[in-house]
Amino acid sequence: MTTLFPATSPTAPLTRLSLLALAAALAGCGGGSDDPPPQDVALLAGDWQSQGCTVIGSRLSERSLLRLVRQDATLFTQSYGAVVYANGDCTGNGTVRLLPPETATPLVVRRTASTGSLAVFWAHWTQDSVDSTPYGRWALKGDFMCPAFYAVVLAIFPPPPPPPPHTSYDLEIATRQTDEMLQRRACYTRVPA
């Protein structure tokens, strides 16, 4: 048997105390990481209409719609549709129209992050592996939800790979892109009840 701290060592009591202090410190932290707790997808749940208005005629206009339905803390489905207005400027009460339920996309959130004003969710198709690129990112800032769908953007405009240490989960990039989307009015607001 190997003795780690021989009784004759003058530093053995100090080393034992250091190890005990380290164990106590880790136990006080819960032994976990310093990452904030994950955000629940309940924050995303609901009907969200785009800020942009598509005018179809003097008596018809619409805004695109995303319906996010929470399944549990990390699972949700996303459905597409439109909020249709009986006028040419997307004002007043609209009628929600959704694509058929079988077109809903089941997604799983594998990472979240937050700042003082931003909550970010990165989600994958449920069948994707853990190390795959996320399907998209949903950022909540105030009354706005700003989605970015990587699969669509990458297929149309494949960007150069980001320089290290940036990844698709980079909070700094998500914050900057969310601010840019808000300036361009490219985000979504909740559909009034």
Of 105, 108, 104, 107, nearest to 38 by C-alpha is 108
According to DSSP, the residues that pair with 60 across neighbouring strands are 57
Q: Map tokens 């979240």 to a residue.
A: 112
pLDDT of residue 150: 81
* Phi-psi map region of 40: left, alpha, beta (phi>0 left; psi -120 to 50 alpha): beta
The one-letter amino acid at 168: S
Q: Map tokens 């909540």 to a residue.
A: 140
Q: Map tokens 């361009």 to a residue.
A: 184
According to DSSP, the residues that pair with 111 across neighbouring strands are 122
pLDDT of residue 164: 60
According to DSSP, the residues that pair with 46 across neighbouring strands are 68
pLDDT of residue 106: 97
Of 15, 84, 25, 93, nearest to 55 by C-alpha is 84
pLDDT of residue 36: 65
3-state secondary structure (DSSP) of residue 32: coil
**How far is the C-alpha of 26 from the C-alpha of 20, rounded, in Å?**
10
Provide block-wise average pLDDT over 10 residues at a time, the chain (193 residues): 39 40 40 64 97 95 97 96 96 95 96 94 92 92 93 51 70 93 96 83
pLDDT of residue 142: 94
